[in-house]
Amino acid sequence: MDTELNLSGMEDADYIAALLLKQLRQEITEVELEYLESWKAAHPSHARVAEQINDGEQLLADLQAMKQVDMDGWWQKISAQIPQVNKTVPFYRRWYAYAAAAAVLLVAGAITWQYWKPGHLPEPTNEKHLPYVVDVKPGGNRATLTLSNGTAIELAGAANGNLAKEGGTNVLKVKDGELKYEHAGTAAVNDNDVVWNTLTTPRGGRYSLQLPDGSKVWLNAASSIKYPAHFSTTERRVIVTGEAFFEVAAGNKKWPFKVMIPPRRGGAGEILEVLGTSFNISAYNDEADIRTTLLKGKVKIAALQLQAGEQSDFKVLSPGQQARIPHNVIAGKDPISIVNLEDVEEVSGWKDGMIHLEDADIRSIMRIISRWYNIEVSYEGQTPAYTFTGTLPLKENLSSVIKVLEYEGVRLRMQQNRIIVLP
């Protein structure tokens, strides 16, 4: 039986952590103990967290792997949940500050991840969780801008201001992580003089872009967008690989905005015509399909097939819908399927460093982690058949993300710049 993710439970993390620490000091009341035991019985991961918090050495190991935690800040936050804790635990006791921080992180992880599709839990092990020797910081604002003459500009090291002039347009780095195209003057640009630029993010990089028409694009890790420095008078066309979120400036039928996803060899691509809208496109080649999710407005979508040189009929998406086109299209079958989503905002949560997962298997999760932290992933033996529903915090160091998975039974090993998933 599936366990639903209880987001409201996150608000109880500080309170539960404080109760666990009071129990550790044998200062918990009968009423508090009854509440705590009820929480531990609600999900197997809760009981495992309680056991870990009762192991003082393990708590310190956990915190050593997360040195960015403000120990005293966490302790002050959770001690405020129960007035008695303030009276009984002096702040100069550094161990309790460490324990408080670890307790909150462990409890938050247990509340956030309640998933289990297979209907069984992994067998508990006696292995100690060891702190990572080398941690990996999350990705950041990194991208390469390639101009029409082939010049490549690494934006992370470029100063703010005017970077180049392309096709009658100034290319500006507005601030770290943001690029903007601005018309350089009043003279019109001939359609025959349109030049193309490409913005590319590496693994572990993201960037945002304002196109010449005012449309905004957010580019996820390991992605690219190719676009004219100045749009023609007949259409606004861009080419995308990987994942991007768009907020398209309003146009008209005579000046449509089109997004193309190039077909991979032997597979399908996508052409999307926008009617003034906000949408997310995920088109990584290592995923099973191309997914276009509409938040606002309206879009028309057709599948492109490279081998056949054909284009499917267009389908129209309404807000709250997601179109899926498999990379490997089956002949004679409609390539586009449309599903309704309960919360389309979650699809674009990656822009804010949060990945929302629903029934995601371990391999799809590790692909996300690999792209964002720029690490390799390999598997030993049979891949665990778990699926997850929850939120992955990609603003944290890699060790924090791995802990969320480990505390839910996934066995991982770090070797330099590689995560090994164990059976």
**Residue of 218, 222, 215, 223 whose CA lies nearest to 207:** 218
What pTM does this model have? 0.71
d(CA 259, CA 275): 12
Q: Are 355 and 392 in contact (CB under 8 A)?
A: yes
d(CA 246, CA 348): 10
Tell whether the model's pLDDT for residue 95 goes beyond 60: no
Q: Which residue has the higher pLDDT, 370 or 306?
A: 370
Is 110 exposed, middle or buried, given 0-12, 13-18 or 19+ CB atoms closer than 10 A? Answer: buried
pLDDT score at 200:
98
Tell whether the model's pLDDT for residue 254 goes beyond 90: no
Write the pLDDT tens digit of every residue in 349-397.
Answer: 999 888 888 888 999 999 999 999 999 999 998 888 888 888 888 888 8
**Residue of 410, 354, 418, 353 whose CA lies nearest to 387:** 410
DSSP secondary-structure letter at 263?
A: P
Write the pLDDT tens digit of every residue in 33-91.
Answer: 888 888 788 777 677 767 766 655 455 455 444 434 444 454 455 455 544 443 333 32
